[in-house]
Amino acid sequence: MNTKAPAVPEASDLINVGHVSTPYGVKGWVWVHALTDPITNLFGYQPWYLKTREGFRPVKVLEWRTQGKGVVAQLDISPDRNAAESLRNLEIWVSKDVLPELEEGDYYWSDLIDLSVRTQDGQLLGTVHSMMETGANDVLVVQASEGSMDELERLVPWVPGEVIKDVDLVGRMITVDWDPEF
């Protein structure tokens, strides 16, 4: 039986899929905040790597279940509540290799973070800081960066074809049809 922990991939090969929230009960279970949709997809992506101050630590999910509107899990490194408490707020990362292939024109949010955002006439609005779900459509949170036209933060709707004109992952650029004054 091989009990050796899996080798940790390079950080550039990992993607953040959630974080450990708080302990759940006294037997080492934890609440898990998933960035996947639906949230239970998180458990199909194994192994997990918890991002600690010392680096990425591989962990195994022993059990999990939905609990109310969230999910809880028992991890191999968390036999009791004290151990679970030590995992509070640690990010959960997985290898990009375990994620499903995306169709043309679909992107993981993490692939969009830090991309430059320019208007069709070449004005640099800034870089993508984060993404938000709003119900109607997702939104790029674009923060000013070196060389941007001003110091404003902008919320740009993720509407491919209308607002989002081009995404160039290799060139690290998103071209938008967006009025900078809006």
pLDDT level of residue 109 (50, 70, 90 thresholds): confident
Residues 6+ apart with CB under 8 A from 7: none
CA distance 69 to 52: 27
Residue 25 tokens read as 């009960």
**Average pLDDT in the chain:** 93
Domain of residue 124 covers 109-176
Q: Of 157, 167, 54, 155, which Cα lies nearest the Cα of 106? A: 167
Q: What percentage of the chain exceeds 90 in pLDDT?
A: 81
Does residue 3 lie in a domain region?
no
Q: Are residues 15 and 64 in the same domain?
A: yes
CA distance 45 to 36: 10
Do the domain assignments include residue 82? yes
pLDDT at 12: 82
pLDDT band with cut points at 50, 70 and 90 for residue 110:
confident
Q: Is residue 182 part of a domain?
A: no
- pLDDT tens for 111-163 read 899 999 999 999 999 999 999 988 889 999 999 999 999 999 999 999 999 99
Q: State how far the Cα of 143 lies from the Cα of 116, in Å rounded to an integer.
A: 10
Query: Is there a single domain that holds both residue 91 and residue 149?
Result: no
Q: Is the pLDDT of residue 55 over 70?
A: yes
Q: Rounded to 5 degrees, what angle do the CA atoms 155, 152, 177 make?
A: 50
| pLDDT at position 35 over 70 | yes
**Is 74 in the same domain as 153?**
no
Q: What is the CATH number of the domain that holds 53?
A: 2.40.30.60
Note whether 77 and 118 are same-domain residues: no
The neighbouring-strand residues paired with 121 are none
E strand or H helix at 147: none
- Of 98, 121, 137, which closes a domain? 98
Place of tokens 């009025």: 179
Residue the block writes with tokens 């709003």: 134
Do 86 and 26 lie in a common domain?
Answer: yes
Q: What's the full length of the chain, in residues?
A: 182
Q: Is the pLDDT of residue 2 over 60?
A: no
pLDDT at 4: 59
Q: What is the pLDDT of residue 3?
A: 55
Q: Which of 77, 98, 119 is the last residue of a domain?
A: 98
Tell me the CATH number at 145.
2.30.30.240
Whether 124 is covered by a domain: the verdict is yes
Burial of 33 (0-12, 13-18, 19+ CB in 10 A): middle
Q: Cis before residue 47, ω within 30 degrees of 0?
A: yes
Q: CA 159, 165, 168, 174 torsion: positive or negative? A: negative
